[in-house]
Structure 1
């Protein structure tokens, strides 16, 4: 199980510093996970939304995030999308750069689809299609479930993320908090969705928080243990719900709420 953080909108320096510190602390010591760490790599995606000049940065490392805090200090505030992921890999899954989030796949129209994910997919219904996409079934052992899930979803994607395909993918998981960013020539789409079992709600829940002109999605540990009380306006995102944002012509639209039913 991993810890995630997503920001979209006008990101202020102090807010960015506070939340990335909460992510680092959660990865180093997670009270919701018997004080264990999320030390199996980390990464982030940055998509600038300022003016007509876009910038995209993807960083991934198999080192723990708490050993690379200098990288976080290099991220600047601004009008953008930021997606962070601190990984604790599932048993039997590989520890390599390909399986470190954010993972990326190319859609049928050549657009880039990025995913971070907290949970575990059961991809049996899609394995024949995924094997064909990889071209060699032996490669299945080299990638984790998130990489393979994103590969499958990208193969179904044209100019937008199909809600039914996302719901079908999420239905295979007992728990799946997902953030997706689709980079198309004329617009960028962000979708954040959640699914969690009631018996693990405290650990698995995903918060939606707001600050001035900013929306934040954060794993439970960040908000419950490492963010000062009442600093942000936070509510738990409803189970089987997704929020969608669209950035186009220098405007950010959202969140639009979606219900995910396979």
Structure 2
């Protein structure tokens, strides 16, 4: 890939900024050794790509919404989530392919947070299919500034659901739980849910199908994800993504 002069200058500014940040943070850590470890000062995740196929036919699945979440956990004994350093979405093409690429490093902030070891958490969903997850193995924390994903290069299989509508509805409890972070804390204030419109549109369609058949599901109302005064209405935002 040939870089333009403007792109070279931009990368140069990033390099100078990162170097300066490292110097300042390391100096502060030396003066105040009881502060949380300054390493790593940033994260710049390696690319993640893969394919999604139908479990029965082994044919590629297009239109699968894939959400990737890189979450920071508190280094204190609670280990509770404190920040999403990145929330991204990809939609599979006709070949079933998806990809995620970080175009820039992201500062690790707050410094009490470290990337959870199983990040990124990948969530796969397509209407009529069961959801799937893919993530790294669990370990205390990930201090590698260039984290990779064990899901990179893998083929993910989705199974078409063959039970009743009521049985299908029960399968959404853990999917709903996996997305609740979007409606609380910094993720809510930064309107992170707007980063995954295709996933939310698919869930909206599924909620409407359940409602028409009078079936209760484990899906929370999508409007609970948004602070309307800051981010507006979820349903209005999704109008351009609904079939």
- TM-score, normalized by length of structure 2? 0.28
Q: Which protein is richer in strand relative to its size?
A: 1
